[in-house]
Amino acid sequence: MAIIVVGGSSRNVGKTSVVAGLIAAMPQLHWTAFKVTPHWHEEPSAGEGPVDLSEETDPNAGTDTARFLAAGAVRSLWVRLRTGDLAEVMPHIQTELKQSENVIFESNSILQFLQPDLYLTVLGGDPEDFKQSAKLYLALADAVLAPENWIKSPAWKEILRRLPQGTPVLPIRPPLYVTKELQKFVREQIGL
């Protein structure tokens, strides 16, 4: 089983597009996709705990998890929780892992409980909005993905200097987030 984690520096940098693109590029892997949202601020309904794990069943629902299904995922799960409550849902995630052929996560925070075969982090947006979870795990990235014009900006160059020497920085070209170069890299890393 391959486990891939796709994290990112902030919201709206293309994490969902990367996950959906990888699912579509390798449908033979029968992906189970997870989106982990660790900043759920809603009050739980009666009978609900501080976490919610739900399965998306409609590829046309207009949600990120629906995009995973539309890309070809066998299953798509959304984990919503309050920051700091991920430990409570890990037994449920572990159960899902045991039932899956291959798994791809959209999350930074899952790295505190799981060691994936491959961790990709997507950089973009404003460097001032860099998520704490992304900063924490940046040095663990097997590769960094970023739009070409941002790779060259002085603010992002400073962040890229924090990477361990030799960490690949692969360009993404929105709306094409999963380039042939990225596909080749992922296939090599997970042994395809």
Tell me the pLDDT tens digit for each residue of 38-59.
765 555 444 455 678 899 999 9
What pLDDT does 46 receive?
A: 42
82-137 pLDDT per residue, tens: 777 889 889 999 999 999 999 999 999 999 999 999 999 999 887 778 888 888 89
Integer CA distances (angstroms), 131 to 7, 33, 42, 115, 123, in order: 10, 22, 20, 20, 10
Q: Tell me the pTM.
A: 0.92
What pLDDT does 97 receive?
A: 96
Delineate the domains of the chain, giving CATH numbers in brackets.
3-189 (3.40.50.300)
The length of the chain is 192
> Which residues lie below 8 Å from residue 85, measured CB to CB, with a gap of 6+?
38, 50, 51
How many angstroms separate the CA atoms of 76 and 97, rounded? Answer: 12
